[in-house]
Structures are given as structure tokens and as C-alpha cells.
Structure 1
Amino acid sequence: MNREPDWALWRSFAAVVANGSLSAAARELGISQPTVGRHVETLEADLGLTLFERTLTGLKPNSTALRLYEPVNTAQSALAEAAIMAEGAQDDLGGTVRITASAIISNYALPGLLVPIRQLYPRIALELVPSDSAENLLLREADIAIRMFRPTQLELVTRHLGDLPIVPAAHESYLARRGTPRAIEELYDHDMIGMDRSDAIIAHAQKLGLSLRREHFLLRSDEQTQMWELIRAGLGIGFAQANLVATTPGMVALPLDLRIPPLQVWLTTHRELFTSHRIRAIYDALAEGLTAYIHGRHFNR
């Protein structure tokens, strides 16, 4: 080895191996493609090794590169965790907290919950990430996550705040036109709103012995907020959080026992971030607000 390579070179190397090309690595790292190419060439020169085969389709990692990739990837994760620990050591109640939650919670619950939180902590900036995917807290895609399932990563601090019932619901304008179903079998005669690619509703119905098929949903979407807005507009019968139905003018929960499993609500952060004063402050305030929301207590909207 001629000299110890700079970490930036290893970072570019790992990005090329993981992404398969210089251009994709450059997009991930936010630098130019020529810079990534120079990093790879410099790393090979510093190590005295050839790491990639140059092909017409790009750079192909050889066996040596693949052996080196695992410890480099591990080092990246360790550095990310070190950054988290440094973040947690900060005592200042300024700065930024990034919160991710489902699209429904983000759009219809969080705005009201954040009114008193902003009054308590005006110097803390909040970044909100509405997402129904599992954001990675360890890699700092979020500081705090509101999950509808129990997280399993050992690095996380989690708190189960309660459960949100899911009910069949419709707008009163739809029920005025089409009538209110009093039995499960009557749903087949109504315009039902359901998922497009996901079969979660159908699978649950089949457990109840109902022969529900995709064709029974005359309006379909996999976007939770859009499904809710379709129901709220009076376009048919769908499924929604009971709290949201109860607090939305014109919405009616239908008297049908479909035994729909409730949504668990978990508040989650990285254990090292839990020592950050600002993140702990927002975490505790969110826990209080969400608990009130789960139990049907009113908040600012």
C-alpha cells in the first residue's frame, strides 16, 4: 500500500459497488460523476490494487472489491451511528427534529397536535415526512417515527401509545342517496372504496367467510389519503380510523361488526437520539398529544 486512502475515496468506492455505476453513485453522493471516477482511480492507486473491471456497461467490482465492500459498509454504518451519538449529546433546545408518520396521521392528526408543541418549543424547527413506508431511523431519514406496527430494531426506543379502531364509514350525503347498510351482506349492493394493488382488505374479508373480490371495489387506490377523501366526498363506503370519522363533519361510522384489527400506534426514536434534549422534548410532547388523540380527546385542528 502506498498510503492510507482518504475516507471520501472509500465512500465513493462503496457507492459504486452498491449502485452498479459511476452515474448512480454520483447521484447518491451528490457529487459529479467525474469526481467519483477520480476517487475510484485514486483509491486503486493508493492500495496498489485493481478493484473494478472496465466494461462497456460501466465498472464491475472484482472479487477483491466485493471482499472489501463489507467492512467499508460496516464502517459507514458505524460513522452514521457516531453522528447520531454526537447529535444526542447536544443540549440546546434549538435545531431541527425530523418526524415521519403515515400519510393519514401526518395530514389529519399531526397539524392539530403540533399547535401546542410549537407554542412550547418555538425555537425547534420541525421537518415532517408523510410516508407509509418504514423510514430508517438509524440512517437519519427521521429522528422520530410514528409507526402503525411494533418496530423490532434493537437500536430503537419504542413506546406503545394505544390502538386506533378501524371502522366502515361513509359520508351522510352518500347514505342519503343509497341508504345505510344494516348487515354485512348489504355491502355488496353499495359502491365500495378499497385498495388497488394491495389485497389486505380482501384477505381479512375472506377470514370472515366473505367472498369479497377486487371487482367489488368500484373505486380503488393504494393512497390512504386519497381513499379517505373519496369517502369524505360521498363517493362510497370505505374503511377509516374511527377517531377521524368521529371528528369529521358529515362522516358516519356504519353499524357493522367487521372485526377489523385496530392500528397499533408506536412512537419510536433511536436510543442515542433519546438523550438529545430537543428530540426528547418533542418525543414526550408527541406522546402526550397522540395519547389524547387515540382516546378521542379533542385537540386544535
Structure 2
Amino acid sequence: MQNFDWTLIQSFLSVAQTGSYSAAARASGRSQPTIGRHIDQLQTQLGATLFQRITGGYALTQTGTALMDHAQTMQKAAAQMSMITAGRAADIRGTVRITASEIVATYILPELIADLLAQEPELQIELVATNSTENLLLREADIALRMVEPNQLDLITRKLGAIPVGLYAAQSYLDRAGTPQGFGDLSRHTLLGYDKSDLMIRGMAAFGITMQRTDFAFRVDDQVTYLEAVRAGVGLGASQQRQAEIYGLVRVLPDLEIPPLPVWLTAHSALRTSARVRRVFDFLSETLPKRL
């Protein structure tokens, strides 16, 4: 294939992995027309149809499926080349990309990053607030803060501690609805749950409490919106202890021992030889445990 352009393969992978041009555009940061143009160019250069239109998006053709392994190999090779060059950076300057959960990224990291940038004025930070797992091996992030222990190879991982979690409510809600006196009292209260996620349902099942999605009168998957709803007095909801105390929330049913959330700090091993990534990694290792 003449005049090969790696960006065409990147767009091909984005569509293959997300199933639509619009989702691929959001995932890659490119526009939807650009994604479509890249796919057309790649199919023309290859002389083959890579996707077929289905309800709600696109699916790989037989030829597209056959190309996936090769395209993913190229993606990994490109990521490795990027990590090798980044890993040789000797100066504490340039960009470090951090991914963390919505709560950690919103309520904990900004103050720490402010201190870090004050100490390292030539450093730049990109913060990705998401509960999805960013792939360190593909350079989607340089450093990740996760609530589950990563099991990928070639990663340097350090457990920083655990975040205590409890069931909380705003005083305004308790003044209106009263304080629950036991598990059996929950049925008369407004409970906050998640929309698509079944995490809350599984968590209650661990305590022998069977609940359905409709038992939660307010449901939202976004953790920041969830916490703000508890703060506004919508009802009872789970919260990290430190943030609940800052907001002046009242803990209810203290005998409900919700398992704490472990916090793992992770970076690719090749990036630990980068001065800027090492500086951020070590800074978070030192300061973050004091904020959990």
C-alpha cells in the first residue's frame, strides 16, 4: 500500500472497538467526518470493504476482522516506540497524563496538582476523570489511579491505601425523613443508587439485603452527581468518608460496614525512567495517602 498513513489505522481501530463513527470520534478526539474520511481512504487503498452497516452502527466484515490482529500489533508497536522515547526524557518538563475515578479526580487531585505545578513550573498535567480503565500499555495514560489491582504485565504498581466508605445523608434529609434505625427501616427512606451499574445492588446483597433497581428512587451513574445529590438532601447514599465529612454529611447505620476502596497507583515500567513521570509518580505516592 503506497503513501501509508498510520492515522487511518488508528481510525479503523477506533470504529472497530466502539462500533460507530460517532463513538470512535469521541474516543479518539477526532471529528466524525474525519473518521468517515479515514475509513473511506483506507478501504480505497486496500481495495476492500472493512465495515458493514448494521442497526445502530458498523460491524467488521470478514476482511476487516482478518486485519484486526495486524492493526492491534501496529498499535502496540507504536505505543512501545512512544514509551521508549518518553522514558528517556531527563528533564522534569512536558506533559504527564493521569487517569483517576471521577471522585478522586474531582475532589482530591486538584489541590495536589496545584502544589505539584507550583514546585515544577515546566510540568503540564492532563487529568482524565473516568471510571473506565485506561490502557497504560497503549499510552492512553501515563499514570493511573485505580480501585482494583491491575493485572497487566510491565506495570509498576503501588498500593497507596484504602478509602473508608459509609452510608450518609444530609442533615436536611434526616430532619425531613428521620434517621433510619436499622436495615429494616431502609424501605421507608429515599435511597440513591446507580442507573446502569449494578454495583449498589451487589453491595447490598453482600449484607443479605435483596434489592432491585427500582428500589432506588434516584439513580445516576456519574459519581460526582451522585454525591452532590446526597449533599442536596435527596436521600441516603454511599460516600467516601473524607468527602462526606468535608460536606458535613451525617453517617447513618454505622454498623453497615462497607468494604473500603483500595487505591492503586500504576505506571508502565518503561515510563519510570522518565524524569517527569517519575516525579509525578513519586509525588502522588507521598502525598495521596494523606488525603484518603
Range into which the TM-score falls when normalised by the shorter chain: 0.7 to 0.9
**CA deviation digits over 1:42-75, x for unaligned, max 9?**
5x5xxxxx65589999998666x75555334313
Query: Are 1:231 and 2:230 matched, yes or no?
Result: yes
* Residue 253 (structure 2) pairs with residue 273 (structure 1): no
- Matching residue's letter, 1:174: Y
Q: Offset of 1:224 from its aligned partner?
A: 0.9
Greater shift after overlay, 31-40 or 110-119?
31-40
Match of 2:198 in 1: 199
Residue type matched to 1:184 in 2?
F
Query: Corresponding residue for 1:100?
Result: 99
2:8 match: 12
Query: When the two structures are aligned, how many residues end up with a matched partner?
Result: 280
CA distance, structure 1, for counterparts of residue 253 and residue 50 of structure 2: 66
For the residues of structure 2 that align with 1:93 and 1:104, how far apart are their CA atoms?
A: 27
Q: Percent identity?
A: 36
Whole-Å Cα distance in 2 between the matches of residues 54 and 254 of structure 1?
53
For residues 176-195 of structure 1, the aligned pairs below 5 Å read 176-195=175-194
1:16-165 equivalences in 2 (<5 Å) = 16=12, 19=15, 24=21, 37-38=40-41, 40-42=43-45, 44=46, 51-52=48-49, 67=66, 69-165=68-164
Give the structure 2 partner of residue 257 of structure 1. Answer: 255
Residue 297 of structure 1 corresponds to: none
Tell me how far apart the structure 2 counterparts of residues 268 and 147 of structure 1 sit (CA, whole Å): 8
The two structures, once aligned, show a CA RMSD in angstroms of 3.1
Q: Considering only CA atoms, is the larger Rg found in Structure 1 or Structure 2?
A: 1
Over residues 73-115 of structure 1, what are the superposed CA-to-partner deviations in whole Å (9 max), with x where a residue is unaligned? 3133112111111111111211011111111111111112222
Q: Secondary structure at the match of 1:272?
A: helix
Residue ranges of structure 1 left out of the alignment (5+ in a row)? 45-49, 295-301
**Length-normalised TM-score, structure 1:** 0.81
The aligned amino acid for 2:104 is I
Aligned mates of 2:79, 2:189 — CA distance in 1: 52
What is the rounded CA distance, in whole Å, between the counterparts of 1:198 and 1:185 in structure 2? 24
Q: 1:24 to 1:168 in 2, by over 3 A?
A: closer
Note the alpha carbon deviations across 1:127-184, whole angstroms, 9 max, x for none.
1111011111122221111101111110211111111121000111212222222322
Contact 1:12 1:40 in 2 (8 A): no
Which residues of structure 2 form unaligned runs of 5+? none
Q: Structure 2 length as normaliser, TM-score?
A: 0.83
> In 2, are the aligned partners of 1:13 and 1:40 still within 8 Å (CA)?
no
Secondary structure (helix, strand or coil) at the match of 2:257 reads coil
